[in-house]
Amino acid sequence: MIQYLKLGDDRSPVQLDSNADNGTFKVDDDCAWAKTEDEITPDFLRSRIEPWLTALFQSEHLNLLVGSGLSSAVQQSATGKSPQGMGWITDLKVCKAEIDSYVTANAKALGRNAGNIEDQIRSINELIKGLEILTANYVLPPVPPVPRNFQNELNELKKELSRCLKSFSDSVSDGEKSIRDAAPEQKTQTFNYLVNFLMSFSSRTATRDRLHIFTTNYDRIIETGAELAGLRLVDRFVGSIAPIFRSSRLEVDYHYNPPGIRGEPRYLEGVARFTKLHGSLDWYENEGAIRRFGLPFGAASVEPFLQVEGAGTANYQQLMIYPNSVKDRETSEYPYVELFRDLASATCRPNSTLVTYGYSFGDEHINRVLTDMLTIPSTHIVIIAYGDPLGRIMRFIKDCGRQAQISLLLGDHFGDLKTLVDYYLPKAAIDRSSIRMAELLKSRGLYPAAIQSKSGGEE
């Protein structure tokens, strides 16, 4: 597979052709750091990539945007099987032809070959709104009967929405369950890589702004990895039994009192802020509030938990899993308006770096924020992805007109979770002893490049 690499001193992405025989690469055309006849090893690439990422990770503000690529990578690593797609509801009972036609047309407009269950759910939501308008003054069917009874269709469509949401939530649950039920050795290794991946970003000195993790995923893979890593996630939910979503943006944080020092609390290391832009499998709406229930990782279904919250009846329309919308409707509805405000305020500020992993640039409302971010000269975006089958990533880089502020690691080599952690991500630790040793070696003129790249200039 072809790889693409673009770092700070590259004017455009450099194409790397892989040699499967010896694991090396060759550039497709001469660039500033290699000739077409050179055999480029992963170790050489590491000497260029890792110091650059280390420097960017020490920006004043660091943000991580995670897409479905991370869930796919973790699931495939743990189970050895390719994840199933989002699927398609083939047996819609109401307005099937109209919904399928609308979904297909909009999917093609977005550059996708076909729609998926997310598109169907979004279309059903929009159709329900339209039918509610048509039946606002409904009393009794007129006589003689009209060709279509919109009130009956509305009632049936709401039932279909619940069924689609159940199918969608079950597919997310199945992904978690497959990871939970994987072979212990393979699962342990996978979660170790996930922990190292998260800690590479979150291992920042407490004097710097906290890492802010954003994700478009509905599963709880990041939360599980953070628990294993001992990483404390700060989000908008408050409470213990049924945490409730709060609109307040108070800068809540973790501090500790050093021994022997009174009245001087210090920031605790290993803390990150966390935002799920499209909702979560364990979020639900209840009496006008958004709450989170205690759903175990890998639970077979959310239905028993919804039954408890709904006094014996599982209403899947309470689940806050909100698929992407072509017209950005979710960005103006609660609680998503708050979540996207967090994304804009965290990224669109000076000396800010955003790293995307497994994000396909298929959400225009997110891309718009990233484009606005790049209008600030001191910002930078690092794009890491396994592939770009629809060309969205390359199109974004071309259309934004700010290539100098974008780094790119694209391909099955750079996007592979294990390879990324083993070779290219910075050292996942705040190690004062290593920093002092590196400074000592530098002062003595014995400063190896490998140690230099790992020190990362921590303060």
Q: What token pair was written down for 356? A: 């995307």
Task: Return the HEC string of 395-411.
Answer: HHHHHHCCHHHEEEEEC
pLDDT of residue 327: 36
Mean pLDDT of 56-83: 92
Q: Looking at residue 209, what DSSP letter applies?
A: P
Is residue 49 within 8 A of residue 449, CB to CB? The reply is: no
β-strand partners of 317: none
Sort strands 406-410 and 3-6 into parallel, antiparallel or unpaired.
antiparallel
Residue matched to tokens 């420097």: 55
pLDDT of residue 435: 62
Is residue 197 within 8 A of residue 417, CB to CB? The reply is: yes
With residues binned 3-state (H G I as helix, E B as strand, rest as coil), the percentages for the chain, rounded to 5, are 40, 15, 40
CA-nearest of 399, 406, 454 to 427 is 454
Q: Tens of pLDDT along 400-436?
A: 888 999 999 999 999 999 999 999 998 866 555 666 7
Cis peptide before 335 (omega within 30 of 0): yes
In this predicted structure, the answer to whether residue 24 has a pLDDT above a threshold of 80 is: yes
CB atoms within 10 A of CB 255: 11
pLDDT of residue 456: 42
Q: Tens of pLDDT along 191-213?
A: 999 999 999 998 887 778 899 99
**Least trusted range by pLDDT, from 137-146, 299-308, 365-374, 397-406:** 137-146
In this predicted structure, the answer to whether residue 128 has a pLDDT above a threshold of 50 is: yes
Q: Is 457 left (phi over 0), alpha (psi -120 to 50) or beta?
A: left
CA-nearest of 325, 328, 375, 367 to 348 is 375
Is residue 16 within 8 A of residue 8, CB to CB? The reply is: no
The CA distance from 447 to 255, in Å, is 35
Q: SS3 for 212?
A: strand
The CA distance from 360 to 387, in Å, is 8
Burial class (CB within 10 angstroms; exposed 0-12, middle 13-18, buried 19+) of 150: middle
In this predicted structure, the answer to whether residue 36 has a pLDDT above a threshold of 70 is: yes
Q: Tens of pLDDT along 71-113?
A: 999 999 999 988 876 667 778 888 888 888 888 888 777 767 7
The CA distance from 407 to 10, in Å, is 9
Q: What token pair was written down for 230? A: 């001992």
pTM: 0.87
Residue matched to tokens 């966390």: 274
- Interior angle at CA 353, CA 347 and CA 359, nearest 5: 80
